[in-house]
Amino acid sequence: MDPVIELDGLEVRFGDRTILKKLKATLTGRSIGLLGPNGAGKSTLINTLLGFHKPTSGTARIFGRDIRTHAREVRSLLGFMPENDAYIASMSGVHFVRLMAELAGLPPEHALERAHEAFFYVGLGEVRYRNLGTYSLGMKQAAKLAQAIAHGPKLLFLDEPTNGLDPPARLRMIQLIQEIRDRGDLRLILSSHLLRDVEECCDEVLILKDGNIAAFCNLEEERRANRRFLEVETRGGVNGAFVEAMEKLGCEAATGAQGRIKLVLPDELEVRQLYQVASDQNIQIRRLNHKRDSLEDIFLKAMEAADGRL
Amino acid sequence: MAVYKKTYRPYDGELTSSWTRFLVIPRFAFEGMRKSRFLTIFFLASFIYPLIAALFIYVKHNASALNLLGVGNANTLISINTTFFLNFLGWQSMLALFLAAFTGPGQVSPDLANNALSLYLARPFSRVEYVLGKMWILMVLMSLMTWIPGLLLFLLEAYLQEGWSWMRDNSSLAWGMFFGSWVWILILALMALALSAWVKWKPAAGALMFGVFFVAAGFGVAVNGVQRTKWGHLFNISALIGSVWVQLFGADPSVNNGGVFFRMPVGEELPPWCCWTALATLCLICLYMLARKIRGAEVVR
């Protein structure tokens, strides 16, 4: 797949502080999650890609276009839903989205048509003539999404899209993002503190810590790689013997507390053979989970790395 | 596609020229301003003086009208000269100041108050285009109040004088009207935007606009009084612009010291280059203020 974003030694400094430290990565996913604790540099990275901050050294390319030399062209491909409130309170929703679409280069009649469509799409069709200042938080989030997609961008930056939303509104927002992702017309960059949001919407994730890339992984591949990862809870017998027997069958095994054993089965081994071995060793299997590294595990491992680099 | 078909589709239609895209901002701003009855009435009222001035010019050249009014020799009392045009510009420029104070703060502060700037600048749209777009609406409205009616009066007088010779002999009036107005318009537009970028509350930004003109002038007078100098007038923007107009109109400083509301006190005139420098410095300060505030994202160092 063609790279969406290439980070090529990207460094951003504000005064003496280095916010992004020579980032190098090639992001190719349809939907890329951006994770990291507060101050990790997520928003600075998005703002730099949008051209709000100038890189101190290095550069980045979006769809092959350099953000230093082709900033205007790059921005014509982007849609941006910022984290904070961003609207003009005295404007009606549809008027505001039309303005933003026109600024992106759409002729007035197309901009008006697409503003209406975008409002219906995000579920605000009935309130599109109301002033934005009167919208609830959830409606403002949806209006921000409408302005981000109205001009038909190729890449959509979503900065904390579920911020402050109640559960039904969050669910609706996640569904919208998944729907946009699944259509395949545009790529997504989703920055969020909520691991669950990223897990539900993204197929690739970049984790930042202290301005470094702490982890970069393809969630789809992780899911596939961990499909034969089992967590077993046992009672009775001797665990050591059971583990030895499983290792003889080609499993990787690690013993935990209270009879817990983590196993990675080789491709040819069936799970029922595990029950057979347990029976032979006179061990009861009380619980068996198909465990995989969740995004939380990946995130926590990345955060444990002392220098912010895995 | 009908709007009720709730689906997303990419846009692959035509795009507008990037050179003219900044004009989207004044178009939307004008739509917003039209909703204000007060501004509409104020703007229309600003044409009263030009209409009266046009009437004066017409009557001066129409003997039958003067006779009808019973003031046959009034044409000797009405002089269409540098003073006439300077006073016209002075009056209209004061109205332009009010217009800038009423409308200017509403241009940038709503965008800053709710962080909309990041949305503008995340598009193929630069900070310069944003400022230019916001200035455009002020420049158009103030042009309609100052140099456009001024030049129409000049042409009316030239037409009624029946000859190119008057036009040629008094061309400095037209140039002075045009360039003098533009100097004032640029200062007002930049100040209105800069103040509204720093003071996000519209009424406060408007009040500050008047404050900069009147309080600073008072401060200048105080400096002059305490220091027994004339350099305090460097704080008096209206006196500075009056001096610049006198130079641009090619007027004799001993006869004309500026237009109404925009006069440098007699005997306290500053060298023209000082006035130009002071006004240029003011513009640079405004540009600096705008450059600091008009950003897609705030930088916390």
Query: Does residue A150 have a pLDDT over 90?
Result: yes
Instruction: Supply the pLDDT for residue A248.
Output: 87
Query: Does residue A287 have a pLDDT over 50?
Result: yes
**pLDDT band at A225; cut points 50, 70, 90:** low
Q: B162 with B73: CB under 8 angstroms?
A: no
Which range of A131-140, B114-123, B141-150 scores highest in mean pLDDT? It is B141-150
Query: Does residue B13 have a pLDDT over 50?
Result: yes
Nearest 10 degrees: CA dihedral of A156, A162, A165, A167? 120
What is the residue whose two structure tokens read 């545009």? A186
CATH number at A5-223: 3.40.50.300
Structure tokens at B157: 């007088």
- Cβ neighbors of B159 (< 8 A, separation 6 or more) are none
Q: B256 with B86: CB under 8 angstroms?
A: yes
Averaged pLDDT for residues B168-195: 95
Range with the poorest average pLDDT among A225-234, A264-273, B120-129, B160-169: A225-234
Instruction: Supply the pLDDT for residue B291.
Output: 94
Instruction: Supply the pLDDT for residue B72.
Output: 66
Q: For chain A, which residues make up each domain, given as ranges?
A: 5-223, 228-290
Average pLDDT, chain B: 89
Instruction: Supply the pLDDT for residue A310.
Output: 45
- Rounded Cα gap, residues A96 and A99, in angstroms: 5
Averaged pLDDT for residues B205-220: 88
pTM of the model: 0.84
Give the number of other Cβ atoms within 10 Å of residue A72's Cβ.
14
- Rounded Cα gap, residues A66 and A68, in angstroms: 5
Quick one: DSSP state of residue B265? P
Asked if A85 and B9 come within 8 Å (Cβ–Cβ), the reply is no
Which residues of A are less than 8 Å from B32 in CB distance? 90-91
- Cβ neighbors of A60 (< 8 A, separation 6 or more) are A5, A6, A7, A8, A10, A48, A49, A66, A67
Chain B residues at the A interface, defined by Cβ less than 8 Å, are 1, 3-16, 18, 21, 24-25, 28, 32, 110-111, 113-116, 118-126, 295-297, 299-301
Which residues of B are less than 8 Å from A15 in CB distance? 301
Quick one: DSSP state of residue B74? G
Quick one: DSSP state of residue B251? -
Averaged pLDDT for residues A160-172: 89
User: CATH top-level class for A228-290?
Assistant: alpha beta
Q: A89 with A31: CB under 8 angstroms?
A: no
Instruction: Supply the pLDDT for residue A106.
Output: 95
CB burial class (10 A; 0-12, 13-18, 19+) of residue A17?
Answer: exposed
Query: Does residue B22 have a pLDDT over 90?
Result: yes
Instruction: Supply the pLDDT for residue A142.
Output: 93
Asked if A248 has any chain B CB less than 8 Å from its own CB, the reply is no
Give the number of beta-carbon pairs within 8 Å between A and B: 132
Q: For chain B, which residues make up each domain, given as ranges?
A: 21-293
**pLDDT band at B75; cut points 50, 70, 90:** low
Which residues of B are less than 8 Å from A186 in CB distance? 10
Asked if A218 has any chain B CB less than 8 Å from its own CB, the reply is no
Rounded to 5 degrees, what are φ and ψ at B215? Answer: -70, -40
Instruction: Supply the pLDDT for residue A306.
Output: 47
Query: Does residue B2 have a pLDDT over 70?
Result: no
- Rounded Cα gap, residues A106 and A140, in angstroms: 23
Three-state secondary-structure class, residue A11: strand
User: Which tens digits make up the pLDDT trace of B80-102?
Assistant: 889 999 999 999 999 999 999 99
Instruction: Supply the pLDDT for residue A84.
Output: 87
Averaged pLDDT for residues A101-107: 95
Asked if A140 has any chain B CB less than 8 Å from its own CB, the reply is no
Which residues of B are less than 8 Å from A155 in CB distance? none
